[in-house]
Amino acid sequence: MDFKKEIFSKYEELVTEISEEERQLQANNRDFNLQFEYANNSIKTSKYNFFTFLPLNLFEQFQRIANAYFLFLLILQLIPQISSLAWFTTVVPLVLVLAVSGVKDAIDDFNRHKSDKHINNRPVQVLINGMLKDEKWMNVQVGDIIKLENNNFVTADLLLLSSSEPHSLTYIETAELDGETNLKVKQALTVTAELGEDLQKLTEFNGEVRCEAPNNKLDKFTGTLTLRGEKYALDNEKMLLRGCTIRNTEWCFGLVIYAGPDTKLMQNSGKTTFKRTSIDRLMNVLVLVIFAFLALMCLILAIGNGIWEYDKGYYFQVYLPWAEGINSASYSAFLMFWSYVIILNTVVPISLYVSVEIIRLGNSFYIDWDRKMYYPLNDTPAQARTTTLNEELGQIKYIFSDKTGTLTQNIMCFNKCSINGKSYGDVYDMSGQRIEISENTEKVDFSYNPLADPKFAFYDHSLVEAVKLSDVPTHRFFRLLSLCHTVMPEEKKEGNLVYQAQSPDEGALVTAARNFGFVFRARTPETITVVEMGETKIYKLLAILDFNNVRKRMSVIVRSPEGDLTLYCKGADTILYELLHSSCDSLKEETTEHLNEFAGEGLRTLVVAYKNLDEDYFQDWIRRHHEASTALEGREDKLSELYEEIEKDLMLLGATAIEDKLQDGVPQTIETLAKANIKIWVLTGDKQETAMNIGYSCNLLNDDMEDVFIIEGSTSDDVLNELRNARKKMKPDSFLDSDEINIQFEKSSKKPKIIPDEQANGVYGLVITGHSLAYALEGNLELELVRTACMCKVVICCRVTPLQKAQVVELVKKYKKAVTLAIGDGANDVSMIKTAHIGVGISGQEGMQAVLSSDFSFAQFRYLQRLLLVHGRWSYIRMCKFLKYFFYKNFAFTLLHFWYGFCCGFSAQTVYDEWFITLYNLVYTSLPVLGMSLFDQDVDDRWSMLFPQLYVPGQQNLYFNKMVFVKCMLQGIYSSLILFFIPYGAMYNTMRSDGKAIADYQSFALMAQTCLLIVVSVQIGLDTSYWTVVNQFFIWGSLSVYFAITFTMYSDGMYLIFTASFPFVGTARNTLSQPNVWLAIFLSITLCVLPVVGFRFLKAQLKPTPSDKVLLKIKEAKKRPPPPSPKRRLRRTSTRRSGYAFSHQHGFGALIMSGRNMRPKSPFATTGTFSPNSDKYKHKGL
């Protein structure tokens, strides 16, 4: 059975799309619904339980080729005829490896069980037998009616039945689904809204729902409700989806339509995949190569044994008889083949895998312990949630990032403004020089305003002075901000105002007006109450000219308490400038300069204007407006014409500049990662305008780019043409028949095709909408998409669903030989986090779902550069050095047996003492290589961050690949030849100084193993770049331990106690006391090490790699350290302005005017005034 299917079969049962064609259910009738066997609301992401852990985990572990190989070796060692080593030499390390991996898997699965249990045991009120009972989430079933309260998470996908709000409206936040934090409105059917919170009526409700089968489309739902013989249409506006949060609504009731794995959130969450690093996959290939090499060596030796036994041994049996049962040379050769398999198995020792796990675990702890990745504000350290992917962090080529909450803080801040040609927001010193705003900059004191928002910060004192001096344009500016919006106020305690805004931009503008003395306090369908500089004024709201994506503006028409009729308008500068009166030309020029300056800082800008209306004209206009709004045909077109008519000859007031606050250090991080040749793709559920604004703010997009292509085709052909036109501009040669990629893809092959990197003729960006992306991800267009997008420096995908995010990541994985990383903070990012090679979760404002599904987590995006450039790079370099050294030392160690076979009649006699074979990898050489693999660093963390170019070799997999392995193999073969033949020649017919011979097997074995150990110790010294006390202790300590154990085991006392176990009595003191032995050892070391040193020196001098050049720069810089660079805020120069970036729902203005979303009037709406200039309170109304 396929490995992945076996491991994840249980989870796939949960997430596989259900084959049902239509869903049918009945409210309050569990017996009826149970016959369809719909999934219940429990979630299961764990792999094991108490009984299945051991068999399943062992089955998984023996999928690894090496583990199965060692089990096979163990079986061979239990056969006396061929066993040449004791069984415990394999059993102990094999059990250790299985135990370490098993414990790690058990801990990971235990955490998954905890997460599942936490979610499944959340409480919810379910209507059962006419009563609301507290139930666990996992016990909720399709057809149940449940009650949700304010700030509750939605339990399952529900049909909204009724709510506490007028007309059964319910406000929800969908941040975990699409990343948007603005409120959305859902409304129940009128027929179910009548149920209210009457439990009797709700219990008697027996409506039958027929709807589409479970699917992953977040913005689509179709179904019908049949009640008392009448059919009612259901759509997405009546659905509350799991993952949403109830806001600004005291209670609501819903009918469960989809539960658990059938919910749209879970259908979008993707499958949990077994992640392995590219080095893991390469090691599997290399292990197979080594097995083939091992089989070849054993075959050569077995053939040699057969020939020797046939030619010599057969006639030599009187002195050296054949073992019992061997009656021919060929049978002897067959047995000798398996004996040599056991002896030479150290080419791939099991300690390799133990060491790899220890190294990964150690490097994971470094991430957990890194104080520079700790975020003190919410006490969040970085966390390596998996210990098997560390070195992959040093090879990332593509980063896929969410926007909201990952790059940004989800906070909009009123930053600057331009009023009547004067710019406000900058701070100047006494000499008139503009100073950078920091934490120490003095803030404007709003304490005089009892209704001010204490969280609001502004630094330019001149603006508040203009307000206090009753500057007319300034007052009109803030009056406009307090009136022209669709914000809903909430005031449960007097003076404690909370704004519920459709768009966070609107919330920021209304809050700014509030702090500067124009407090939006309450609204009804006909009025807006504003406290202006201490006076409560009630404006009549006569019309809202609603926002849509074509108009890119919104207006309100109000009548002041004095009876003046005014139209207030705000919108994109490109649109509003066309509607201004000609008298505003000079002011328009000044405002344009300010807009360019604001845009240059990445701020989101809006232009505001007003118009005084004539009474007679307005009465005629409002009559025509009423006729248009009730027209049955062409209503939208007629209203649009009326809006255009009245929104003319506007008087310019100024402009606003809002900062969509980026997380700290985002622009610098992106700039650094770009220097490391990492490409960043932003995948967001936000609208195109907003996504592009953030792209400019964080220096992803800039005006230095040759072009930014926008793909927004509404058909497959349109998208194809737009992609091809973009590619033609970037690389015209890519359309030639001689193009390498075109040739490659013309050949029919079932093997997956990898697209090599293509260089564009400049720097480009690409923006694609979710609708167009759906076409581009189709089979015939995906190749065009990946070719075009991968040529661009930056790609932004907007309005994408969670599943589309995963599909984009999967597309790049499919066609590019590159390591991918996905980073996000919400449930809508889970699918791409699971799909990418590395998933990073940010513990932000959208819950913990992303963190729970991630491989690594931290609190701020800026820590990503440290994770990759420092920890990732170090982990990759350490693992590569470890593997190179490990394969080298074991080839050198094992091949001595091969050469010795030619001198011992191919009899499978070991060249070393059996104790040395057992201790070589476990004691003598384990700690030095672990010391290097845990502590080594070519440069420290500061230089790693200053020179991101050092990261590039990891992306190109230069430090360990098949060619590097072949070099290690050749070096090991060369060293084994030196280490065998130099001691052999030195021992041959040699006499001691007292005339006694020392040319015996035991003396040769001791000399060979001593040469080997000293040579591999010198080699690790050459490979070590960063010396610590630990490294020194491990290397010298290992050599000391070797000599101590050798002299102890070869002593007379040990021989007398354990005669059979320690036969090398006296060998150490007899052999190592001879000067010629030490000269031979020195010669062996010199011949082994000198070529390595010479090669490295010449390569660095004659053909230095880019990494060598950077390291040389660092060495020069260390001699004269550069002064610390001053902290600067990255700014961009641009003539581009943001336009209208609000996330409005079209039609929300009409909802306000209808009054359907209004609550009973707040008791504080027309009371509680203030004045900034006096302690007396005034009151003024209509």
Q: How far is CA 218 from the centre of its chain?
A: 22
Q: Would you put residue 470 in left (φ > 0), alpha (ψ -120 to 50) or beta? A: left
Whether 533 and 517 have beta carbons less than 8 Å apart is answered as yes
Contact by Cβ (8 Å): 812, 832: no
**1152 burial level (CB within 10 Å; 0-12, 13-18, 19+):** buried
* Euclidean distance between CA atoms 414 and 657, whole angstroms: 6
The SS3 of residue 412 is strand
Report helix, strand and coil shares of the chain as percent, to nearest 5. 50, 15, 35
Distance (Å, rounded) from C-alpha 798 to C-alpha 692? 9
Q: Is 157 helix (H, G, I), strand (E, B) or coil?
A: strand
Residue with tokens 């072949």: 966
Sign of CA dihedral 736, 738, 741, 747: positive
Rounded to the nearest 10 degrees, the angle between the axes of helix 1001-1023 and helix 1029-1049 is 180
Query: Is 1110 in contact with 943 (CB distance < 8 Å)?
Result: no
Beta bridge partners of 416: 657
Q: How many CB atoms lie within 10 A of CB 384?
A: 24
Choose among 423, 277, 457, 70: nearest CA to 821: 277
Ramachandran sector of residue 22 (left: φ over 0; alpha: ψ -120 to 50; beta: rest)? beta
H or E, element range at 644: helix 635-646
**836, 400 Cβ separation under 8 angstroms:** yes
The structure tokens listed for 425 are: 């927001």
Chain-centroid distance, C-alpha 1081: 52
Instruction: Tell me the H-state helices in 374-426.
Output: none
Picking from 520, 516, 493, 399, the residue whose alpha carbon sits closest to that of residue 446 is 516
| Selection from 1148, 1164, 1181, 1144 nearest residue 187 by Cα | 1148
Catalytic residue list contains 703 = no
The answer to whether 400 and 885 have CB atoms below 8 angstroms apart is no
- Joined tokens for residue 378: 């919410």
- The answer to whether 254 touches 205, Cβ cutoff 8 Å, is no
Q: What are phi and psi of 450, to 5 degrees?
A: -65, -15
In the set 370, 402, 460, 913, the catalytic residue is 402
- Helices 65-77/351-369 angle, 10° precision: 140
User: What backbone phi and psi angles, to 5 degrees, belong to 766?
Assistant: -135, 130
Lateral strand order in the sheet of 157-163: 131-136, 123-128, 145-149, 251-258, 157-163, 239-240
Q: φ, ψ for residue 161 (rounded to 5)?
A: -100, -45
57 within 8 A of 105, measured Cβ to Cβ: yes
Q: Are 28 and 297 in contact (CB under 8 A)?
A: no
Which residues share a beta bridge with 489?
499
Start-end of H helices in 556-687: 573-576, 585-600, 615-629, 635-646, 666-675
Catalytically active residues, by annotation: 402
